[in-house]
């Protein structure tokens, strides 16, 4: 993407299964994204959660 430049943006596409029951569902995931600078690995861990509402 031309507008990102040297930055790497994070994103996800999440598919909810057709047979998911209606209601409020919590999605939670973790990115393990280590960086390497000056010969040293640095752990970088990011988390995200979201509530989604499934209707009929």
Q: Where is pLDDT greater, at 8 or 54?
A: 54
Residue-averaged pLDDT of the chain: 85
pLDDT of res. 37: 87
Mean pLDDT to the nearest integer, 19-34: 92
pLDDT of res. 10: 66
Residues 24/52, Cβ–Cβ less than 8 Å = yes
Name which of 28, 25, 31, 33 is nearest 49 in CA terms. Answer: 28
Give whole-number Cα distances, 9 to 3, 19, 36, 52, 56, in Å. Answer: 10, 31, 18, 22, 33
Q: Where is pLDDT greater, at 45 or 11?
A: 45
Domain boundaries, the chain: 2-54
pLDDT band at 24, cuts 50/70/90?
Answer: very high
> What percent of the residues of the chain are helix, what percent strand, and what percent coil, each to the nearest 5?
5, 45, 50
């Amino acid at each position: 993407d031309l507008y990102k430049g040297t930055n790497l943006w994070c994103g996800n596409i999440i598919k909810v299964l057709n047979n998911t029951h209606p209601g409020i569902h919590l999605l939670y995931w973790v990115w393990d994204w280590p960086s390497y600078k000056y010969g040293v690995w640095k752990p970088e861990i990011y988390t995200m959660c979201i509530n989604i509402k499934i209707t009929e």
